[in-house]
Amino acid sequence: MQLAGDFGAALSALAPDFGPSARLALAVSGGGDSYGMLALAADLLPDRITVFTIDHRLRAASGQECEAVLSACAVRGIPAERIDLDWPSGVPQSNRQAQAREARYRVLTAACAERGLTWLATAHHADDQAETFLMRAARGSGLSGLAGVRARRRIGELVLLRPCLGMRSETLHQAARAAGFIPIEDPSNSDPSYDRSGVRALLEGTDLLPAERLAAAASHLADAEEALAWLAKEARRTRCWSRGDELRFDARGLPSETVLRVVRSVILDLGGELPRGTQAQRLVETLGRGGRASLSNVQASGGAVWTFRRENDPRRA
């Protein structure tokens, strides 16, 4: 299968450290995208995959869908497990998709850790990336947000991979059908109450916004984000130092984006919360004028060298 070769090439590029005996965990919902990924992985890595399917318990049919995934795997001899999400405070009534996504990654990370699995793949694809790019652009997101879904990221000891980001959704659906899988249609994918559904309809209704080009733009921005993160790390290493209970930062001559990133990291290191929206920008502007300000229980003072300390720490007069 040529697509399996493409999947393998993407996997090798993302994870050159994925050894010949390593096992790959797959998050499979039963939709055409995740079944397509499963078909490609089973062809490429026979006897080296484990499937997890999550019952998010947000729809009445979700349990049956998980059982369908288990059955499809059983007849193919693929190890598969079902994980039921627990909602101690009740099923969320607002922001459901975001809360369910966060809960899925939490239980997937725990399940992989319990079974000694350090590699997990999800079936995010080029159409997902294009939708995310447009949604975040509409919200005025910065570079990090516009970079979209990352192809590889680490969650503790777990490495999360998205080897299908270069593929279209329809390609994955074709792979699923060719392997005999019967995809399950999630009605929330066409629910107009969700922003993503509206963006998906927009992309499907025009040729002016090709998904592959939008996904490529997000990929280029991800490369730029990685470069800026490296520069900020270097600036933090060479321009910041401790003096007593303070952290000091020489921001002179640095690009504004680098300064913002360093200031955010300093606030986190001093026990504050990651600044939201324009909070860090306003703080940097105040410090640049030589002023003082507090943010997230961190007090900061401007000047030739900026100083930061926790508000509840004593300071010598």
Kindly report, residue by residue over 138-159, the tens digit of the pLDDT.
998 889 999 999 999 999 999 9
For the annotated binding site for ATP, the residues are 29-34
DSSP SS3 for 290: coil
pLDDT at 154: 94
What is the tally of structural domains in the chain? 2
**Percent above pLDDT 90 for the chain:** 80
Asked if the structure places residue 175 within a domain, the reply is yes
What domain range includes position 290? 244-310
User: In this structure, is residue 41 part of a structural domain?
Assistant: yes
pLDDT greater than 50 at residue 278:
yes
- Coil/strand/helix, residue 316: coil
- Is residue 315 domain-resident? no
Cβ-contact 175, 34 below 8 angstroms: no
In a domain, 228, yes or no: no
Angle (nearest 5°) at CA 235 between 245 and 256: 105
Mean per-residue pLDDT, 75-80: 97
The token pair at 30 is 């039963």
**Cα(87)–Cα(120) distance, rounded to whole angstroms?**
23
pLDDT the model gives residue 207: 92
For residues 119 and 31, membership in a common domain is answered with: yes
Among 168, 195, 212, give the residue marking a domain's end. 212
Task: Establish if 224 belongs to a structural domain.
Answer: no
Q: At 207, which CATH number?
A: 3.40.50.620
Give yes or no for residue 100 having a pLDDT over 90: no
Say yes or no: 199 and 253 in one domain: no
Q: Are residues 203 and 298 in the same domain?
A: no
Angle between helices 2-14 and 32-44 (to 10 degrees): 90
Q: pLDDT class for 67, splitting at 50, 70, 90?
A: very high
* Residue corresponding to tokens 């002179």: 252
Question: How high is the pLDDT of residue 8?
Answer: 94
What integer is the mean pLDDT of 80-102? 84
Same domain, 178 and 279: no
- For the residues 65-73, what does the mean pLDDT come to? 97
Backbone angles phi, psi at 8, to 5 degrees: -65, -40
Mean pLDDT, residues 28-45: 97
Mean pLDDT value of segment 44-57? 95
The answer on 73 and 195 residing in a single domain is yes
Mean pLDDT value across residues 253-262 = 95
Query: Residue 191: is its pLDDT beyond 90?
Result: no
Say if 236 falls within a structural domain. no
Least confident of 5-14, 117-126, 182-191: 182-191
Say yes or no to pLDDT of 31 above 80.
yes
Q: Is residue 124 part of a domain?
A: yes
Token look-up 């963006």 returns: 199
* Residue 142 burial (10 A CB sphere; 0-12, 13-18, 19+): middle
Asked if the structure places residue 125 within a domain, the reply is yes
- Mean pLDDT across 42-67: 93
Confidence of residue 1 (pLDDT cuts 50, 70, 90): low
Kindly report the average pLDDT of the chain as a whole number. 92
Domain boundary residue, one of 168, 194, 212: 212
Lowest mean pLDDT among 72-76, 203-207, 309-313: 309-313
Task: Show which of 162, 197, 212 is a domain's final residue.
Answer: 212
Let me know whether 182 and 261 are in one domain.
Answer: no
Q: What is the mean predicted confidence (pLDDT) over 82-86?
A: 93
Q: Residue 36 has what pLDDT?
A: 97
pLDDT given at position 313: 53
- Lookup: tokens for 171: 């390609």
Whether 163 and 258 map to the same domain: the answer is no
**Segment 250-258 mean pLDDT:** 96
Coil, strand or helix at 81: strand
- The answer to whether residues 18 and 154 touch, using CB atoms and an 8 Å cutoff, is no
Contact between residue 272 and residue 296 where contact means Cβ atoms under 8 Å apart: yes
Residues 31 and 147 in one domain: yes
Say if CB 122 and CB 160 are below 8 A apart.
yes
Distance CA 22, CA 45 (A): 10
Claim to verify: residue 255 and residue 140 sit in the same structural domain: no
- The three-state secondary structure class of 146 is helix
Same domain, 51 and 176: yes
In the chain, which residue ranges form alpha helices assigned H by DSSP? 2-14, 32-44, 62-74, 96-114, 126-138, 143-146, 169-178, 195-204, 211-239, 256-269, 279-288
**Which SS3 state, helix, strand or coil, does residue 64 take?**
helix
* pLDDT above 70 coverage of the chain, percent: 98
Q: Are residues 142 and 193 in the same domain?
A: yes
Q: Pick out the residues of the known binding site.
A: 29-34
**E strand or H helix at 240:** strand 240-243
| 316 pLDDT above the threshold of 50 | no
Length of the chain: 317
Say whether both 286 and 143 belong to one domain.
no
Tokens encoding 79:
């190890």
Q: Which of 288, 245, 235, 223 is nearest to 265 (CA)?
A: 235
pLDDT at 317: 38
